[in-house]
């Protein structure tokens, strides 16, 4: 009943209550967003990797896919060796090279793009949105390349290694086979895909690949297959999806640390806010608290009644804050989606139940503790002294 | 011979104010038998409230003893004394100290809820007590919607809710006008006639004169 009184008293102080709720909501939103930011990139990148259906990546020693321009030489022999390992179901090599793509007419339109050379029918790095996967002598472009050059499926384009000018260097003419979305492309990246043999020939990198994706058969563990491949080939790196995520996570530790600091600050602010309000509220009611103690109410009952105030404030403010955090996350995501060097498909803020529940629970616990302290202090005071002070 | 509800022997109570020590009570002895209506009078700061607090176990004496229904309060913990007050002592304050957002009925239910009386029973008992203090038509009014006299009657009803052995009232008419004070006196007399034991600390000589007996406290000592 004391709790009921405390909660009803919110209505007698609407401005104070609204300001506190707003403060708690904003800090909860910030806390939840920082938790989402701390976990979002790694989680969404991990999901992106898993969605492509390859459990291992083979890269030059000490690198990650798309990390450097280093390549693995003598891939044909290496491929035979990898494919002979028990559990390896498919090896999908990829060569990445910068190319200049230009229209075959005299319009003079050209773009610099990252070309991916891949085996036939392999869509581990892109999704076909129109047309067909490229066959020998064909190239598939992303929508930006297509728009910049004004080409359609069936059009012819000329390709040459980036930087090759005049008659110097190799060049080829290819037919546009279709359009695709490149899942690991950053915003503003222009990408095309062509057959591995064609790109190797164009870029003078015969029998070389930048990396290879390895699919594992059912019932095999990525770590054990990785170890078996490495036992036969010590000149390459074999990375599991978890390993890639871990390395990305290490590189993004700046984000996580910033997020952790801001989350902690949010929590402290919310705790101080609720603690201050409860302390003010308790100090206004010291006489009443003394009288209730004199009547015979136990400390526990009075503390519970007073703490109910902070629990209700944190519950309502926290619930509003959780909803607000989803809106704010969407807005921040739209700003950060232009962040250079990360695939567009990777999200900074992944709205997840566990982040929201964690933020809400942290706020509720810390706010309740903040409310308990002044309540406990008030009930520790000497009842008779407080009643004497109350006397007119 | 009536049973002694509370007996105090040779009570002293010292308070510290800064570096100095103030002796509020000096060797007070008193016995309150069942069915008594005792008025404690005296000037401000004479020790009336202190005496009431010691009799009810709200405060503990510096020396001396208080025996309540045969139990020495000195051997009881803070929470044990709180439990004793909840069940055996009704307290009435000058400033009522009602919970402002609870109705009269809910305010009276509060000590019953604390004593774990089942909801239906406590609601019925609270309503009956409020009827006893002539507030049956104000059950669902909040203190802000009641007059000072009505608030004090709610506070008296709250004190009576657990059917205590003793009601202690500290300046119960201090905030009330003359007419309302008379109503409170009449209520106390009526309650006493029904068997309630009362000790009332008051400046109000008319209230004191309406009690069965009176003692005066001056400079921490009782003058019979």
For the stretch A162-192, pLDDT in tens is 876 655 568 889 999 999 988 888 777 899 9
* A229 and A297 housed in the same domain: no
Q: At what angle do helices A299-336 and A253-284 cross, to 10 degrees?
A: 150
Q: Do A119 and A169 form a contact (C-beta atoms < 8 A)?
A: no
Instruction: With CB atoms and an 8 Å threshold, state whether B50 touches A1.
Output: no
Q: What is the four-CA torsion angle of B202, B207, B209, B214, rounded to 10 degrees?
A: -30
Confidence of residue B1 (pLDDT cuts 50, 70, 90): very low
Q: Which residue did the predictor score with more confidence, A350 or B50?
A: B50
Burial class (CB in 10 A: 0-12, 13-18, 19+), A81: middle
Query: Residue A100's Cα: distance from chain center in Å?
Result: 32
The domain of A257 spans: 2-48+251-390
Instruction: With CB atoms and an 8 Å threshold, state whether A293 touches B82.
Output: yes
CB < 8 Å from A in window 125-154 of B: none
Q: Give the pLDDT confidence score for residue B92 in this predicted structure.
A: 92
* A182 and A258 housed in the same domain: no
Residue B87: other Cβ atoms inside 10 A: 15
A188 φψ region: left (φ > 0), alpha (ψ -120 to 50), beta (else): left
Instruction: Kindly state whether residue A55 falls inside one of the protein's structural domains.
Output: no
Structure tokens at A207: 């029998």
Instruction: Kindly state whether residue A244 falls inside one of the protein's structural domains.
Output: no
Give the residue from A234, A262, A293 where a domain finishes: A234
Residue B34: other Cβ atoms inside 10 A: 16
Q: Is B93 on the interface with A (CB under 8 A)?
A: yes
Average pLDDT over residues A120-132: 81
Average pLDDT over residues A83-89: 91
Q: Which residues of B touch A383 (CB under 8 A)?
A: 53, 58-59
Instruction: Kindly state whether residue A245 falls inside one of the protein's structural domains.
Output: no
Q: Give the pLDDT confidence score for residue A247 in this predicted structure.
A: 78
Structure tokens at B165: 């052995």
* A273 and A384 housed in the same domain: yes
Give the residue from A234, A259, A285 where a domain finishes: A234
Q: Give the separation between CA A88 and CA B49, rounded to whole angstroms.
A: 90
Task: Provide the residue count of chain B.
Answer: 224
Interface list for chain A against chain B, based on CB atoms closer than 8 Å: 1-2, 4-5, 8-9, 11-12, 287-288, 291-299, 301, 382-385, 387-388, 390-392
Q: B91-139: per-residue pLDDT in tens?
A: 999 889 999 989 999 999 999 999 999 999 999 999 999 998 989 999 9
Residue of chain B nearest A9, judged by CA positions = B101
Distance to chain A for B74, nearest Cα, Å: 16
Q: Which helix (H) or strand (E) holds B16?
A: strand B4-17
> Which domains does chain B possess?
4-223 (3.40.50.300)
Report the largest interatomic distance among the alpha carbons of chain B, rounded to a whole angstrom.
52
Beta strands in chain A (DSSP E): 56-60, 88-103, 110-118, 126-131, 138-141, 156-161, 172-182, 191-195, 211-216, 236-240
Average pLDDT over residues A9-13: 83
Distance to chain B for A375, nearest Cα, Å: 16
* A277 phi and psi angles, rounded to 5 deg: -60, -45
Q: Which of A12, A17, A281, A296 to mutate to test the interface with B (most CBs of B within 10 A)?
A: A296
Question: How many domains does chain A divide into?
Answer: 2
Give the residues across from A238 on adjacent strands.
A58
Q: Give the separation between CA B81 and CA B58, rounded to whole angstroms.
A: 8
Q: Which residues of B touch A10 (CB under 8 A)?
A: none
Confidence of residue A281 (pLDDT cuts 50, 70, 90): confident
Q: Which of B47, B81, B101 to mutate to test the interface with A (most CBs of A within 10 A)?
A: B101
* A348 and A200 housed in the same domain: no
Distance to chain B for A9, nearest Cα, Å: 6
The per-type count for chain A, helices as H runs and strands as E runs, is 12, 10
**Does the structure show a pLDDT above 60 at B218?**
yes
Tell me the average pLDDT of chain A. 86
Could you tell me the end-to-end alpha-carbon distance of chain B, in angstroms, rounded to an integer? 21
Residue of chain A nearest B53, judged by CA positions = A384
Instruction: Kindly state whether residue A371 falls inside one of the protein's structural domains.
Output: yes
Give the residues across from A116 on adjacent strands.
A96, A193
The DSSP symbol for A36 reads H
* A165 and A294 housed in the same domain: no
Instruction: Kindly state whether residue A239 falls inside one of the protein's structural domains.
Output: no
* A84 and A42 housed in the same domain: no
Instruction: With CB atoms and an 8 Å threshold, state whether B84 touches A384.
Output: no
Q: Do A190 and A114 form a contact (C-beta atoms < 8 A)?
A: yes
Q: Which helix (H) or strand (E) holds B20?
A: strand B20-33
* B166-170: strand order across its sheet: B89-92, B166-170, B198-201, B37-41, B213-218, B221-223
Residue A30: other Cβ atoms inside 10 A: 22
Distance to chain B for A374, nearest Cα, Å: 19
- Strand A172-182 with A138-141, pairing: parallel
Residue A204: other Cβ atoms inside 10 A: 12
Closest Cα to residue B106, out of B150, B138, B152, B149? B138
Give the residue from A234, A263, A289 where a domain finishes: A234
Q: Is B94 on the interface with A (CB under 8 A)?
A: yes
- Strand A191-195 with A156-161, pairing: unpaired
* A203 and A269 housed in the same domain: no
* A38 and A144 housed in the same domain: no
Nearest CB to A298; choose among B82, B99, B106: B82
Q: Which residue did the predictor score with more confidence, A238 or A7?
A: A238
* A132 and A38 housed in the same domain: no
Instruction: Kindly state whether residue A189 falls inside one of the protein's structural domains.
Output: yes
- Strand A156-161 with B20-33, pairing: unpaired
* A228 and A255 housed in the same domain: no
Instruction: Kindly state whether residue A56 falls inside one of the protein's structural domains.
Output: no
For A50, the 3-state DSSP assignment is: helix
Tell me the average pLDDT of chain B. 92
Q: Which of A1-10, A131-140, B15-24 has the highest mean pLDDT?
A: A131-140
Instruction: Kindly state whether residue A26 falls inside one of the protein's structural domains.
Output: yes
């Amino acid at each position: 009943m004391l709790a009921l009184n405390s909660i009803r008293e919110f209505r007698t102080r609407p401005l104070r209550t609204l300001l506190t709720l707003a403060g708690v909501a904003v800090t909860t939103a910030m806390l939840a967003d920082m938790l989402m930011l701390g976990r979002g990139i790694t989680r969404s990148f991990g999901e992106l990797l898993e969605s492509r259906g390859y459990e291992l990546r083979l890269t030059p020693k000490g690198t990650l896919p798309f990390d450097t321009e280093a390549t693995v030489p003598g891939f044909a022999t290496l491929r035979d060796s990898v494919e002979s390992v028990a559990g390896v179901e498919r090896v999908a090599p990829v060569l990445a090279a910068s190319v200049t793509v230009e229209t075959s007419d005299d319009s003079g339109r050209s773009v610099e793009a990252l070309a991916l050379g891949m085996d036939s029918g392999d869509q581990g790095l892109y999704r076909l949105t129109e047309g067909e996967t490229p066959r020998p002598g064909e190239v598939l472009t992303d929508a930006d390349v297509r728009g910049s050059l004004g080409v359609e499926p069936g059009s012819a384009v000329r390709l040459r290694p980036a930087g090759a000018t005049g008659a110097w260097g190799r060049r080829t003419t290819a037919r546009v086979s279709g359009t695709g979305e490149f899942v690991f492309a950053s915003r503003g990246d222009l990408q095309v895909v062509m057959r591995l043999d064609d790109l190797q020939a164009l870029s003078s990198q015969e029998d070389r690949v930048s990396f290879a994706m390895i699919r594992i058969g059912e019932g095999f563990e990525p770590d054990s297959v990785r170890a078996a491949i490495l036992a036969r080939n010590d000149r390459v790196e074999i990375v599991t999806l978890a390993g890639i995520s871990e390395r990305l996570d290490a590189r993004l530790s700046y984000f996580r640390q910033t997020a952790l600091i801001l989350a902690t600050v949010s929590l402290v602010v919310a705790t101080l806010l609720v603690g201050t309000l409860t302390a003010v509220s308790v100090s206004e009611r010291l006489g009443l608290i003394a009288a209730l103690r004199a009547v015979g109410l136990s400390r526990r009952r009075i503390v519970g009644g007073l703490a109910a105030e902070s629990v209700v404030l944190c519950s309502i403010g926290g619930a509003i804050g959780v909803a607000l955090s989803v809106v704010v996350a969407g807005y921040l995501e739209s700003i950060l989606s232009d962040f250079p060097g990360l695939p567009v498909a990777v999200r900074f803020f992944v709205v997840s139940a566990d982040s929201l529940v964690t933020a809400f629970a942290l706020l509720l616990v810390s706010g309740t503790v903040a409310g308990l302290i002044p309540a406990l202090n008030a009930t520790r005071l000497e009842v008779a002294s407080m009643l004497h002070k109350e006397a007119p | 011979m009536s049973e002694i509800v509370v007996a105090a022997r040779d009570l002293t109570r010292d308070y510290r104010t800064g570096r100095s020590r103030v002796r509020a009570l000096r060797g007070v002895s008193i016995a309150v038998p069942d069915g008594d209506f005792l008025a404690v009078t005296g000037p401000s700061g004479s020790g009336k409230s202190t005496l009431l607090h010691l009799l009810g176990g709200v405060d503990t004496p510096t020396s001396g003893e208080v025996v309540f229904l045969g139990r020495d309060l000195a051997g009881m913990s803070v929470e044990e004394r709180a439990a004793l007050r909840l069940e055996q002592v009704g307290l009435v304050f000058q400033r009522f100290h009602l919970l402002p957002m609870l109705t009269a009925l809910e305010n009276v239910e509060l000590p019953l809820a604390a004593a774990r009386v089942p909801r239906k029973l406590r609601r019925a008992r609270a309503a009956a007590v409020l009827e006893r203090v002539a507030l049956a038509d104000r059950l669902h009014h909040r203190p802000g919607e009641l007059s000072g006299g009505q608030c004090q009657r709610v506070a008296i009803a709250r004190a009576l809710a657990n059917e205590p052995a003793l009601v202690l009232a500290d300046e119960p008419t201090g905030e009330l006008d003359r007419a309302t004070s008379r109503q409170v006196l009449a209520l106390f007399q009526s309650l006493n006639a029904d068997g309630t034991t009362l000790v009332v600390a008051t400046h109000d000589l008319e209230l004191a004169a309406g009690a069965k007996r009176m003692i005066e406290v001056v400079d921490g000592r009782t003058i019979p």
